[in-house]
Amino acid sequence: MEQLQNLLIAFVDVFSSPETMFFTTVGIVTGVILGAIPGLSSTVGLALVIPFSYYLSPLSAIAMMYAMHKAGTYGGSIVAILINTPGTAAAACTQLDGYPLTLQGKSGKALRTAAISSAIGDFCSDMLLIFGSVYVAKLVWICGPVEIVGILFFALVLISGITGKSPLKGLFSACLGILLSLVGLDPANLASRFTFGYYKLDGGLGLIPVLTGLFILSEVFIQVESVVLNNGNIGRKVTARKSNNKDDNRLTLREFKSLIPTISLSTVIGSIIGILPGLGAAVAPFISYGQAKSISKHPERFGHGALEGVAAAESANNAVCGANLIPLFSFGIPGSTDAALMMSVFMINGIEFGPMIFQKHTDLVYGIYVTGLIAIAGYFLIGMTCARKIGEVISRISVKVLYPSVLIISFIGVFADKNSTFSLIIFVVFGIIGYFMKKYEFPIPPLIISFMLGLQFETNLRQALAISDSGFLIFLMRPISCILIMFSFMLLAWNIGRSIKGNKSEDVLYEE
């Protein structure tokens, strides 16, 4: 099989490259730590890496980010289990049964269940990515600009409707992202657009200051505000007792066998959700948790320290990691926020993402696959040996050290991008925008993804209209684009109706 041969070649190349191995290891360790720090997560780490990716080879940069993404998704479970404070949104489900196990003196058992379940779910998802994405990409090769417009339009509508609490707010974020992508020179006639006569905007809004401002600076503002209001540190000390019973600190073979059906089902659910753009690791664990509880012989144990609950949540959220790269590699559409940040490194290095990447950059693609498998082994080893110690150390970190350090690194990275103070201005402006978006619950992922796909959408739209004698009717004359656009408008109408209905319900509650 061609994929297996390419994978073996990539294994040799990666293990013979000290640079790639070093930065993959850095990504693993940093990802676990950032994932375990409440309020940061691997997303902040990925945004921090982007400015420095100029100085690395494309494989080293993306390998570090991919490893950080995987390890960070797992890392959130550590503090969720030990101190009942999820390090990431994806780990919020893990704490439902993880922390009760800690209170029972079984934190070791819970931590090992999380590590094993995460690794299995992640590995199976990676197998789907490695051996499945190339076949999905072959379907895209037959698509022209008309079909690409339909795919992108459907993806943007889908992402705007399922991220955040309000579909209308998600739609607003997506439209704002498209609008921001138009700033600069028109690629067709080089006319200035939305620059207001300011020449520094002719090159458009820089990707790095926009991403780091929205993700990092806004999060620093939110966390500083939270600390000021709560007058405390980011976490709590681990005070739960540790059992002297060896079985309470390990996962027995019998217990593992009983978890296999739960892990298998949750892995399938997480992989399916990972393929769908916009859902991400925050949704998968709760769906899997509900399914695991419904098929369990002892559903009454869930929420009180059930190992099945920990296994379901962790195998599902890490199963998303590999699968959400499938739409990126196959369609050129990021399946999650972290995938969008990784996509920015492709853009910085001039690498064409989408189905052509399998032909033009085969070595890079399979190198990423290999580093993903290395990352799974890395965070599994960390989880099985020193997860508790990491949780204890992180619970004592002072915000007086943490957030100023993140802020300084962000400013250095943004300035190093183009050695321009104008980039710092964009960084601060979008940090403020991101802060208010988070405060008023406007989802940021639709804005980022539409901002990154805006130029591609515009280019394909113009090409489709250029080859058409029927104007916009061409999108209804091609079966693939027609079906996708019809589904998009149906989904759009359903989201708007759901949002209006939700607002009316809130008004009734408020009047009562």
Residue 367 vs residue 405, higher pLDDT: 367
142 — pLDDT class (breaks 50, 70, 90): low
Does position 87 have pLDDT exceeding 70, yes or no? Answer: no
Q: Is the pLDDT of residue 43 over 90?
A: no
Which among 203, 220, 222 has a CA at the least distance from the CA of 410?
Answer: 220
Per-residue confidence band for 372, with pLDDT thresholds at 50, 70 and 90: very high
Q: 233 CB contacts (<8 Å, ≥6 apart)?
A: 227, 396, 397, 398, 399
Q: What is the CA angle 483-488-492, rounded to 5?
A: 150
Tokens representing 394 are 């992180």
The DSSP code for 193 is E
- Of 17-26, 97-106, 131-140, 188-197, the one with minimum mean pLDDT is 131-140
Q: For 41-66, what is the mean pLDDT?
A: 82
pLDDT band at 246 (very low <50, low <70, confident <90, very high): low
What pLDDT is stored for residue 243 in this prediction? 57
Q: Bigger pLDDT: 356 or 465?
A: 465
Cα distances from 251 to residues 8, 110, 120, 307, 458, in angstroms, run: 33, 8, 15, 10, 53
Query: What average pLDDT score do residues 422-426 get?
Result: 87
- Higher-pLDDT residue of 462 and 331 is 462
Helix, strand, or coil (residue 305): coil
510 band by pLDDT with thresholds 50, 70 and 90: very low
Higher pLDDT, 79 or 416: 79
- pLDDT tens digit sequence for 248-306: 677 888 888 888 999 999 999 888 878 876 555 666 787 788 888 878 888 888 888 88
User: Which has the higher per-residue pLDDT, 229 or 231?
Assistant: 229
When comparing pLDDT for 21 and 82, which is higher?
A: 21
Look at residue 452 and give its three-state secondary structure. Answer: helix
DSSP state of 386: S
The H or E element spanning position 185 is: strand 184-185
What gap in Å lies between CA 295 and CA 380, rounded to an integer?
27
Average pLDDT on 238-255 reads: 67
Are 402 and 234 within 8 A, CB to CB?
yes
Q: What whole-number distance in Å separates Cα of residue 93 and Cα of residue 101?
A: 14
Q: What is the DSSP letter of 297?
A: S
Nearest to 42 by CA among 70, 82, 77, 79: 70
70 has pLDDT over 50: yes
Cα–Cα dist 231/25, whole Å: 35
Which pair of tokens denotes residue 282?
């925050």
**CB hemisphere CA count around 45 (13 angstroms):** 30
| CB of 380 closer than 8 Å to CB of 115 | yes
The residues, ordered by sequence, that sit 6+ positions from 70 with a Cβ below 8 Å of its Cβ are 28, 31, 122, 318, 321, 372, 375, 376, 379
In this prediction, residue 393 has a pLDDT band, given cuts at 50, 70 and 90, of confident
CA 25 to chain centre: 19
| Percentage of residues of the chain with pLDDT beyond 90 | 11
- The pLDDT tens digits for 182-197 are 888 887 777 888 888 7
pTM of the model: 0.74
Residues 6+ apart with CB under 8 A from 379: 28, 31, 32, 70, 71, 74, 75, 115, 118, 119
For 150-182, give one letter per residue: b (16+ CB within 10 A) or e: bbbbbbbbbbbbbbbebbbbbbbbbebbbebbe
E strands, 230-348, where?
none
Residue 156's pLDDT is 79
Of the spans 29-43, 132-146, 452-466, which averages the highest pLDDT? 452-466
pLDDT band at 502 (very low <50, low <70, confident <90, very high): low
Per mean pLDDT, which of 329-333, 361-365, 395-399, 419-423 is the most reliable? 361-365
Burial 202-238 (b: 16+ CB within 10 A, else e): eebbbbbbbbbbbbbbbbbbebeeebeeeeeebbeeb
Q: Which two tokens stand for residue 155?
A: 């993806």
CA distance 502 to 241: 44
Q: Give me the pLDDT at residue 21, please.
A: 93
Specify whether the CB–CB gap between 109 and 382 falls below 8 A. Answer: no
What pLDDT score was predicted for residue 124?
A: 92
